[in-house]
């Protein structure tokens, strides 16, 4: 009975039915046509140790950008700034002279992937939050009942 309820809730939340696959939207009102687009991220080398990564705020939330940028804090000085209403710029400057310019460039390109990963994680949390609450309630309600019985 409980398993059926959870499966039904998961099906309702994800929109999956039968064997059909469900895809996560990038952001409300936005589609993805496949392939690379400038909205997904532009990496620009400003000097030997300074890169700018520009990403669309239409595709990525502020939280996804900050979380991904924060991961580079040990190797880079990181600055995140809005670029108008539709994009963020993340400036990365090496804390120490890079071993080679490819290391800094690779980190800048990896940042674009990390931002995408964070956005997908945020979207997944939004879509499955209600299911997580149902599971939480089923897991901990019996403990609360046992605690109340002993009091």
Encode pLDDT of 16-60 as tens digits: 443 333 333 334 434 333 334 455 679 999 988 899 999 999 999
Residue 149 lies in a domain: no
What does pTM read for this prediction?
A: 0.64
Q: Are the C-beta atoms of 80 and 26 separated by less than 8 Å?
A: no
Phi, psi of 53 (to 5 degrees): -115, 120
Domain containing residue 70? 37-125
**pLDDT tens readout for residues 121-145:** 999 999 998 888 888 888 887 777 7
Would 52 be classed as within a structural domain?
Answer: yes
Q: Is residue 79 part of a domain?
A: yes
Give the pLDDT confidence of 70-125 residue by residue, as tens digits: 999 998 999 999 998 899 999 999 888 766 666 788 899 999 999 999 999 999 99
**Position 101 in a domain:** yes
Residue 118 lies in a domain: yes
Q: Are strands 42-47 and 87-94 parallel, antiparallel or unpaired?
A: unpaired
What's 45's domain CATH number? 3.30.70
In a domain, 58, yes or no: yes
**Per-residue model confidence (pLDDT) at position 13:** 41
The 3-class secondary structure across 77-118, one letter per residue, is: EEEEEECCCCEEEEEEEECCCCCCHHHHHHHHHHHHHHHHHH
Number of domains in the chain: 1
Tell me, yes or no, whether 146 lies in a domain: no
> If you ran DSSP here, which 8-state letter would residue 52 be given?
E
83 located within any domain: yes
Task: To the nearest 10°, report the CA torsion of 5, 8, 10, 13.
Answer: -120
């Amino acid at each position: 009975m409980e398993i059926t309820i959870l499966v039904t809730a998961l099906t309702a939340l994800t929109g999956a039915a039968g064997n059909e696959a469900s895809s996560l939207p990038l952001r409300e009102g936005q589609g993805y046509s496949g392939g690379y687009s400038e909205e997904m991220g532009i990496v620009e080398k400003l000097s030997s140790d300074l890169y700018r990564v520009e990403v669309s705020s239409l595709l990525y939330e502020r939280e996804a950008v900050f979380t991904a940028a924060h991961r580079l804090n040990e190797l880079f000085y990181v600055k995140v700034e809005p670029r108008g209403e539709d994009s963020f710029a993340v400036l990365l400057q090496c804390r120490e002279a890079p071993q080679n310019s490819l290391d800094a460039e690779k980190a800048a390109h990896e940042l674009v992937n990390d931002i995408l990963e964070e956005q997908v994680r945020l979207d997944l949390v939004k879509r499955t939050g209600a299911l997580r609450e149902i599971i939480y309630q089923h897991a901990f309600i019996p403990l609360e009942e046992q605690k109340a019985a002993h009091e």
